[in-house]
Amino acid sequence: MARALIVVDVQNDFCEGGSLPVSGGARVAADVNDLLHRWHSGATDAPAYDVVVATKDHHVDPGAHWSAKPDFAESWPVHCKVGTEGAAFHPNLDPQPFDEVFYKGEHQAAYSGFEGRTSGGEALADWLRARGVEDVDVCGIATDHCVRATALDSAGEGFVTRVLTALCAGVAEETTAAALTDLAGAGVELA
């Protein structure tokens, strides 16, 4: 029985200074980086993960998902455009420990990491199952959007799912609280 960590969308555009900044995003990047390096170095206080993956918003032309007049519910400012610095991992996060990266949303809105695929086209759920993963921890940005969607889909795919709330940042208190209620109601553990 293997355990995976999914690091959701810790990208420049979702951190302070980006086009869709989430307060605390840079801190999440640094804290996740610390966890990854403790895990990678075999530190005794680090969680035991068999694989560690990341997701990235990876937009080419996502249609109505981008808008010059966004409603911040269904449409958003241009963000994580392929080939821009905004799409890159935040500099506080060293991507070297990632076993794989899953890209989502090239031509449509995509919130869940389970909508993502490797550069070779493999879906996240299939990739995890091929490695015997049964337990999944989720962290990243934003608690009330992509972390929520990823964790709900993880549970829906049958993985025992836990959200590491200290390693997440949400857009707003109210929507973050609602997301955490939704997650708990779906059987996702909040740690």
Q: Which of 9, 13, 57, 144 is catalytic?
A: 9
Of 77, 64, 81, 88, whose CA–CA distance to 9 is shortest?
88
- Written as one letter, the residue type at 36 is L
* Phi and psi, residue 159, nearest 5°: -80, 140
Q: Is 104 an active-site residue?
A: yes
Q: Is 15 an active-site residue?
A: no
Q: Which of 81, 104, 139, 168 is catalytic?
A: 104
Q: Which of 31, 146, 153, 168 is catalytic?
A: 146
* Phi and psi, residue 3, nearest 5°: -120, 140
Q: Is 146 an active-site residue?
A: yes
Cα atoms found within 13 Å of the Cα of residue 95, Cβ hemisphere only: 15
Q: How far apart are CA 155 and CA 162, in angstroms?
A: 9
Of 173, 23, 21, 37, whose CA–CA distance to 93 is shortest?
37
Please give the positions annotated as active site.
Answer: 9, 104, 146
